[in-house]
Structure 1
Amino acid sequence: MADTRGVEIRESSIRLSFAFNGKRERRTLMVDGAALPPTPANVKYAHRLIADIRLRIRAGTFSLAEYFPDNGTVARGGAVADQLDHWLSTQNIEESTKAGYSSAIKFWKPLIGQLAMTAVRHSDILKALRTRPDLNGKTVNNYVSVLRAAMQLAVLDQLLKDNPVAAIENAKWQKEPPDPFDREEVEKIVAYAQEHYDPAVANMIEFRFFTGVRTSEMVGLQWGSIDWNKRQMLVREAVVRGIRKQTKTNKARIVALNSRAFAALERHRDALPRANILTIPGAVSSPLPQKPSAPAADTTIFLDPRYGTPWVDERAFRRSFWTPALKALGIRYRPPNNSRHTFATMLLMAGATPAYAAKQMGHSVEMFLSVYSKWIDDGHGDLEQAKLERFIGQNSPATPLDQKKG
């Protein structure tokens, strides 16, 4: 039996030894009535636990009943880091969501991961958050949400009595308003791309500006989603971190292709590699090129022309094409996805109803109104007032409104 600073490693168990209230306490670590085996991970946990116990004893906040309930012989639960990993393993989520959760877990582990769940205090969490004053409120709330959920699972599993994260208040943060490009900027960017970049890139940029598709939807769009006769496209999938999935809202939608979007798509299709050269039997003249065949329905529409592979995300496009174009044109930088905001405001400034615009964008009407209310108001007040004046003018003061003249 080895004893290293209060951790006694036995053949099939681990025992903690510490002095409390003038008495030597020896407690075997147990989970669900069975001794915790002395695996490397469990031994590591035991050392973290004894260190935390001694810290709490010195601070006068240690409780045997809290750390060793069930007649004082069972230490339930584990370290925060272990609980975070366990919680993540129980989640049935998309890979993109899992990546976000993993980022939060990566934040918490070096700060409080070594603490036993039963030892985590409200102040420990606040101190951990103060180590990163650069984080915005939204990120802080996402990180706290993951920790709160993981600890709540421990409460439900009866490993904790109370959730130490429950009382942590959400951080305040101000959502950035839409920052669209104006029409002049749009035309400059499109023209620059047509002059300096591969046509595949130029067509994609124009298509984005005049359809408003999300980045993930654009990189996931396939030729089979295009209805050339009706000039429509079906947006039903997205690609996030290289994984094909449903759209952000988990709802498919039909998007009408206006003349600019349709023309960009036609140019893109017609520029695809042509089929093999057609040789006319017995002809002496040079062979005639065959017209391009229709693209396979399950092939991706927009590819990175440098490699002939689908775009995985926005970063490569942003670094190699988008940022240099804006810099060369002297246009204030905004991310490529702001082309989506640009299309939404185009719809509104053209007089489209919020219900139609929301349907094209894949928003609920309520969400659309909350995001783009400024453009609904701006420039349309006089038009709406004129509608009211025409309505009023058709009725004399003595005529009931339900008997207005034709």
Structure 2
Amino acid sequence: MPPTSANLKYAERLVAEIKEKIRLSTFSMAEYFRAAGDGGKLTVGAQLDTWLKGQRIEESTRAGYESCAKFWKITGLGDKALRALRTSDILTALATRPDLSGKTVNNYVQVLREAVELAVTDKILVDNPVIKVPHAKHQKEPPDPFSREEMEKVLVSLADKHPGQVSNFTEFWFWTGMRTSEIFGLRWDNVDLASGLVVVREAVVRGVQKDRTKTNVERTVNLNSRALAAIQRQREHTQVAGEHVFTDPRYRTAWVDERAYRRSFWTPTLKILGVRYRRPYNMRHTYATVMLMAGMNPAFCAKQLGHSVEMFHKTYAKWLDGDQNVREMARLETTLCPSYAQKKIKAP
């Protein structure tokens, strides 16, 4: 650094700052001299591990974070000295995987950002090079529900080839729109057949039964005739045991992983029928759109699915509009062309 007037003034301010921190016993060598302290040998991978150990999170969330940390380790950044980490290193690592979606990139970067920020908080680093990594653009996929015809074809096929538990399970899922974890965790003591209600208060996540749902809010679901019929048929299979309502008939155990259902029943059925593949979760979207197309109150629909009204409107805006878009455009056309209104009146 050349001894210019500006640099000399900066040095004077820095000396004064250091002296003040020494006086207050808050001075850290690592903060001002990057090669000092035990952090000199700390790697990016070790810092990720340290950050993960300090997270008080659900096991399912931890598994996701560990997957993100693994990405950085296998790209070679894991063995890099933390103090040598530069923004360009991160961008280069991401460039090796152009196949990653924007959402996945952001998830990976978020974990690294928070881990490195902890090093800044601990005075191991002065600044966080991950902050300057730009946010990747991505477009959230819109709901992709099944049509009523597709849904009925799937249910008829399952009733024929897998009658009983699998058929009941799928029909109940289609006609309640419950989350995967919620329908896996549903127990008989939360079912009121006389009133046609189920209370959603538990969930199964990665095979672990939890006494709370994804949103940590208990809700009551009103059963329509299709859902009620399906759960009534299910009684002979599992109600005596008094545990989970729906179980895997092959092993007589509770469903713990959607993959088993997909591989053995869901995917083969769609393939045989020639129905375009969508995840089982889209049964939830299907029920939401069926309710809306029936003209049901959006606030009631949101409550049934465990959504906030705001999130429900945002997710299903296309179906909320319904014929309203046509009506609104018709109003505009009436203004632009008065004869348009006369045509609509004369139309049979």
Q: For the residues of structure 2 that align with 1:382 and 1:130, how far apart are their CA atoms?
A: 45
Residue 295 (structure 1) aligned to one of 240, 263, 270: 240
The alignment status of 1:268 with 2:213, answered yes or no, reads: no
Query: Which residue matches 2:57?
Result: 93
Kindly indicate whether the alpha-carbon contact (under 8 Å) linking 2:40 and 2:81 is maintained by their aligned counterparts in 1. no
Amino acid at match of 1:363: H
Amino acid at match of 1:80: V
CA RMSD in angstroms, aligned pairs only:
2.1
Q: For the residues of structure 1 that align with 2:286 and 2:226, how far apart are their CA atoms?
A: 14
Amino acid at match of 1:305: P
1:157-177 Cα distance to aligned partner (Å, 9 max, x none): 111110110111110011111
Query: Which residue matches 1:83?
Result: 47
Query: Which residue matches 1:179?
Result: 144
TM-score, scaled to structure 1: 0.70
**Superposed counterparts of 1:141-290, under 5 Å:** 141-245=106-210, 246-272=212-238
1:165 is paired with a residue of what secondary structure? helix
Q: For the residues of structure 1 that align with 2:79 and 2:131, how far apart are their CA atoms?
A: 20
1:74-99 Cα distance to aligned partner (Å, 9 max, x none): 65461111110010000000000000
By relative contact order (CA 8 Å, sep 6+), the higher-ranking structure is 2
Query: Which residue matches 1:105?
Result: 69
1:272-306 Cα distance to aligned partner (Å, 9 max, x none): 4xxxxxxxxxxxxxxxxxxxxx5354x11111111
TM-superposed deviation, 1:132: 1.0
Kindly indicate whether the alpha-carbon contact (under 8 Å) linking 1:77 and 1:160 is maintained by their aligned counterparts in 2. no
Q: For the residues of structure 1 that align with 2:177 and 2:185, how far apart are their CA atoms?
A: 14
Question: Which region of structure 1 is more displaced relative to structure 2, 121-130 or 76-85?
Answer: 76-85
Change (3 A) 1:166 1:263: same
What count of residue pairs does the alignment treat as equivalent?
A: 299
Query: Which residue matches 1:378?
Result: 322
Query: Which residue matches 2:307?
Result: 363
Q: For the residues of structure 2 that align with 1:304 and 1:148, how far apart are their CA atoms?
A: 41
1:27-74 Cα distance to aligned partner (Å, 9 max, x none): xxxxxxxxxxxxxxxxxxxxxxxxxxxxxxxxxxxxxx744237xxx6
Kindly indicate whether the alpha-carbon contact (under 8 Å) linking 2:34 and 2:125 is maintained by their aligned counterparts in 1. no
Query: Which residue matches 1:59?
Result: none
Which protein shows a greater Rg?
1
Q: For the residues of structure 1 that align with 2:190 and 2:270, how far apart are their CA atoms?
A: 31
1:320-349 Cα distance to aligned partner (Å, 9 max, x none): 101111111111111111000000001100
TM-superposed deviation, 1:379: 3.0
**Superposed counterparts of 1:7-46, under 5 Å:** none
The alignment status of 1:347 with 2:313, answered yes or no, reads: no
Q: For the residues of structure 1 that align with 2:208 and 2:328, how far apart are their CA atoms?
A: 45
Query: Greater helix percent: which structure?
Result: 2
Query: Which residue matches 2:6?
Result: none
Q: For the residues of structure 2 that align with 1:157 and 1:306, how far apart are their CA atoms?
A: 53
1:155-206 Cα distance to aligned partner (Å, 9 max, x none): 1111111011011111001111100001111111100000001410000010
2:130 is paired with a residue of what secondary structure? coil
Percent of pairs identical after alignment?
56
Query: Which residue matches 2:254?
Result: 310
